[in-house]
Structure 1
Amino acid sequence: MEEFLMRIGDRWQAATSNEWIESENPYTGKPWARVPRGTSRDAEAAVLAAHEAFTEGPWSRMSPADRGLLLYKLADCMAADAEHLAELEVRDTGKLKAEMLGNLRYLPRWYQYYGGLADKIEGSVTPIDKPGMFHYVAYEPLGVVTCIVPWNSPLLLTTMKVAAALAAGNTVVIKPSEFASTSVIEFARLFEKAGFPPGVVNVVTGYGAEVGEVLTTHPLVRRVAFTGGDVGGKAVATAAAKTFKRISLELGGKSPNIVFADANLDAAVKGVISGVFAATGQTCMAGSRLLVHSSIHDRFVDKLVAFVSAAKLGDPSRPETNMGPVSTRPQLERVMKYIEIARSEGAKCATGGRRGSGEACGDGWFVEPTIFTGVKNSMRIAREEIFGPVLTVIPFDSDDEAVEIANDTPYGLAAAIWTTSLERVVKMPKRLHSGTVWVNAYRVVSYLAPFGGVKGSGIGRENGIEAIKEYLETKSVFINGNPDVPNPFVMG
């Protein structure tokens, strides 16, 4: 049993309660590590450490260029430690090692990008309409930022918050999921190795009810960046609103993957598989609703079933494995419950629909890749986020109907279209209510491309230049060049 500690200020420590949370390996179904069960006292200590680093420590006096250099060093440290961090995420989440290695080798680009952006946050001088008055706009860091990340992609979702927050000059407190904390804890060591001053990056582990409340309500926290479900998002938004904190919420999705009759069907099959079965369907952007034109419906479903039926479930650390286990016990139960709901609603299971079994699956939390046909968009399995390897197939007869079905959802995170029609390529993205639209692709992300949702999928954007604006305060400054002060009873 490996043991991990929290990072608060310049200390690595256990919880003040001296209690622990066991982390279970989804492939073996057994505990492999333990992390501190943090308390409200620990959370407050982390906030105070971050506030001190922001106001009094070396970080507060550091130039943007020097902050950028530290982010470059961090990127190098992360690249050098990629395999170790990937192995931790595999143990904690059950994601494929091949995917995690690719992920960890790409994540340093975020810190390089924002490292380069740190000294390019420029203000402006305005041609003010007041005679003798000089006016400029400046951008300043907010202060302490809380970053709350879920269990499905701990380091990716941490990076999408922390890189921009630090480049803007803020300090952070990271609260990883109690189900998957180890990779984030180990990642925090790299900040120390790269030369970041103490208190700039803090990690507090534990349960949301015991730690999260302080991190979302503390008066010294200026912003909360949250990724998770809509229930948690509402709780964070409500708590943060009491002290008028800024928030960003990257929540769930029920994203439509739309295949038109003129699409390259072989390419579309791969896109659909990648969209919902990669990462065992445990991504907020999962293309869990397949909308397919009626004229190709049966042929396309047959292709999908044939492709999925050949997928190998098993040890996520082995290169031949195509799909790993579900990441947590509660999530396994949730996915199986929705499979039963689908059957009770009258959907037809074209493939899968059972727990994964056999020697390759061992005692792990596996679910067979599952495809349901005969689905109506009014069914629960088409409206509620399952967050597992379950695909619902819905036929459509026209472009207008496809758009109507696609937009008929409380979510709006992502969408995709598969077509060879230039007209559709131009027109369809404008008609789809989602933060991201892919054309003849799915599940493509970049540090350059803003990511976030509309409607119930959240507030704010991560990645790209848009993200750094989320972590800055805009200040307006007027300088009077006139020798006389205007009449105090008349607005100038």
Structure 2
Amino acid sequence: MSGEQGQRLYIGGEWVEPDGGHYEVVNPADESVVGLAPEASRAQVEEAARAAAEAFGPWSRTRPEERAAILDRAADVIQREFEPWAELAQAETGAPTGIARGMQVGVGVARFRRYAKGALEPVERGLPPQVTEAGPMGAASVLGALEVRQPVGVVTCITSYNNPWANPAGKVAPALAMGNTVVVKPAPQDPLSVFRMAEALAEAGIPPGVVNVVSGQAVEVGEAAVDSPHVDMVSFTGSTGVGQRIAEVCGRSMKRQLMELGGKGAAVVFGDADLDAAVMGIGTTFSFYSGQICTAPTRVIVQRSVYAQLVEKLTGYLAFMKVGDPAVKGTVVGPVISAAHRDRVESYVELGRKEGARIASGGERPVVGEGDRRGKGFYVAPTLLVDCTNDMRVVREEIFGPVVVVVPFDGGEDEAVALANDSDYGLISYVWSGDAARAFRVARRLRAGGVGVNTIGRNMEAPFGGFKRSGVGRDVGSYALHAYSEVQSIVWAG
């Protein structure tokens, strides 16, 4: 709950005043103050982890039907509060109205519904019996076996700033469905929505300690949520660099990990592709979360025969990308999350220019707003960098903004695959071709956790996760239930 002086922490079923006071959550669209977020101390994070550990035993033994009912009731509460909570999400993130409603709060509701059903999925699987000969291990026998999925224990969920509903819900809901308890540490830029999620779960009847939410700007808040001896698993979405540091800490005590990290999605466009469809897909980089999404097709690898045509079409597409206040009807591209991130994205555009890329569109900071609000907000112009080569940093590094780079190639499939795979990342890549056989052939050769063939759409039951430095593990659909479980085998003599 929010008090007169700001948001409280949620620990052990109680709303607790933060030891470190509060800090301002800033609206990236106009730099106004959205609210005051709590700054937890290391001791309070440890208290949250201890509460989760104490709640784990009873919660893990609840009937799946009970867990499902609570998740369903939480979805009901979120749906009831849809309008004000979508407005809050928009204010915290700067997302355009359609994104805040549909892709943030709307997806949050859908994920709680999905894992209410997921709580009822079977967790046991019988294995074929095995006949064993007499030997040192005992007499001859027929051994039966059962695979059982058990909850991991206490899961720390560290969530990203680009979606304070879909990302936390995609961690918390399946973890709870499997019988785990959680400590949620939201991104410091937009944590208030995650506390609304905790309110929904509390109203839905979640037992004390099963869900805990702690926030803060200090590094020690996240560190405490990772290195607590009460934590059994860390589920993290964020940058590869931070993920690597978390993995090092987890390795010391063999904590389980689920990591969804950076991406630099390759979009391979062959000469026979439907270029309009490819442009529509690639163009989502500019409009979807202002490019702050790890699955975006930001690295276009296009066959020389259609290179000029594709660049022309992308440039034309950008002409319709209205940058502005996300609350105003017609806005397509809102701000990025902070002034620091805006400066980072702009520095990459300038770096690209120095490296020899040509700015086909964008590159200048847009001025948004009227009156006293004119010039406020953290806006970046959707930018298209062309004539790029694979050795440029703007091609190799994740920019996480509305910037697309275009690399031409002269050869065939082998060259396209080599360029696409020449990356530290391997989250989601894409192939556009009019030849379905070639598209699927190339897709199987791409070193990426997912590949879209002539689409940027995602099947929300398909496994999601990355190759290489883009992550560890898979979630989404039933795979998320598996991610938040341990496999136990039970063997008996028949």
Give the TM-score, by structure 2 length.
Answer: 0.93
2:454 pairs with one of 440, 445, 470: 440
> CA distance change for structure 1 residues 372 and 135 in 2, over 3 Å: closer, same or farther?
closer
**Distance in 1, Cα, partners of 2:225 & 2:344:** 28
Are residue 394 (structure 1) and residue 407 (structure 2) matched?
Answer: yes
**Distance in 2, Cα, partners of 1:83 & 1:327:** 22
Are residue 167 (structure 1) and residue 145 (structure 2) matched?
Answer: no
1:453 pairs with one of 466, 475, 488: 466
Flag structure 2 segments of 5+ consecutive residues without an equivalent: 133-140
Instruction: Give the 3-state SS of the residue equivalent to 1:349 in structure 2.
Output: strand
Residues 124-273 of structure 1 aligned to structure 2 (within 5 Å):
124-126=125-127, 127-130=129-132, 131=141, 133-207=143-217, 209-273=219-283
Aligned to 1:470: 483
Aligned to 1:84: 84
Are residue 14 (structure 1) and residue 24 (structure 2) matched?
Answer: no
After superposition, give the CA deviation of every residue in 1:167-217 in whole Å (9 maximum; x if it has no partner). 110011100011110111111100011111121111000135221112111
Counterpart amino acid of residue 433 in structure 1 = R
Are residue 32 (structure 1) and residue 45 (structure 2) matched?
Answer: no
Aligned to 1:382: 395
Displacement of 1:440: 1.4
Counterpart amino acid of residue 140 in structure 1 = Q
Residues 278-427 of structure 1 aligned to structure 2 (within 5 Å):
278-359=288-369, 362-397=375-410, 398-427=412-441
Counterpart amino acid of residue 455 in structure 1 = K
Aligned to 2:135: none
Instruction: Give the 3-state SS of the residue equivalent to 2:120 in structure 1.
Output: helix
Aligned to 2:98: 98
Displacement of 1:358: 4.4
Q: Is the 2:427–2:449 Cα contact (8 Å) retained in structure 1?
A: yes
Are residue 111 (structure 1) and residue 112 (structure 2) matched?
Answer: yes
Q: Is the 1:109–1:447 Cα contact (8 Å) retained in structure 2?
A: no
**Distance in 2, Cα, partners of 1:431 & 1:182:** 42
After superposition, give the CA deviation of every residue in 1:222-260 in whole Å (9 maximum; x if it has no partner). 110000001110111011111110001100011111222
**Distance in 1, Cα, partners of 2:406 & 2:489:** 52
Displacement of 1:120: 2.1
After superposition, give the CA deviation of every residue in 1:348-369 in whole Å (9 maximum; x if it has no partner). 1111111111446631111111
Q: Is the 1:149–1:176 Cα contact (8 Å) retained in structure 2?
A: yes
> CA distance change for structure 1 residues 461 and 60 in 2, over 3 Å: closer, same or farther?
closer
Q: Is the 1:38–1:210 Cα contact (8 Å) retained in structure 2?
A: no
**Distance in 1, Cα, partners of 2:264 & 2:91:** 27
Q: Is the 1:93–1:328 Cα contact (8 Å) retained in structure 2?
A: no
Instruction: Give the 3-state SS of the residue equivalent to 2:461 in structure 1.
Output: coil
Instruction: Give the 3-state SS of the residue equivalent to 2:399 in structure 1.
Output: coil
Give the TM-score, by structure 1 length.
Answer: 0.93
Q: Is the 2:286–2:333 Cα contact (8 Å) retained in structure 1?
A: no
After superposition, give the CA deviation of every residue in 1:304-336 in whole Å (9 maximum; x if it has no partner). 111202321111012210100111122111111
**Distance in 2, Cα, partners of 1:294 & 1:475:** 53
Instruction: Give the 3-state SS of the residue equivalent to 2:155 in structure 1.
Output: strand
Q: Is the 1:21–1:178 Cα contact (8 Å) retained in structure 2?
A: no
**Distance in 2, Cα, partners of 1:34 & 1:416:** 41
Counterpart amino acid of residue 421 in structure 1 = D
**Distance in 2, Cα, partners of 1:14 & 1:120:** 38
**Distance in 1, Cα, partners of 2:328 & 2:316:** 23
Counterpart amino acid of residue 95 in structure 2 = K
More moved, 161-170 vs 469-478: 469-478
Identity %: 38
Counterpart amino acid of residue 441 in structure 1 = T
**Distance in 2, Cα, partners of 1:153 & 1:106:** 10
**Distance in 2, Cα, partners of 1:216 & 1:306:** 46
Report the aligned-residue RMSD: 1.7
Displacement of 1:135: 3.7
Q: Which runs of 4+ in 1 moved over 3 A?
A: 132-135, 358-362, 478-481
**Distance in 2, Cα, partners of 1:350 & 1:124:** 56
**Distance in 2, Cα, partners of 1:234 & 1:106:** 28
Counterpart amino acid of residue 64 in structure 2 = P
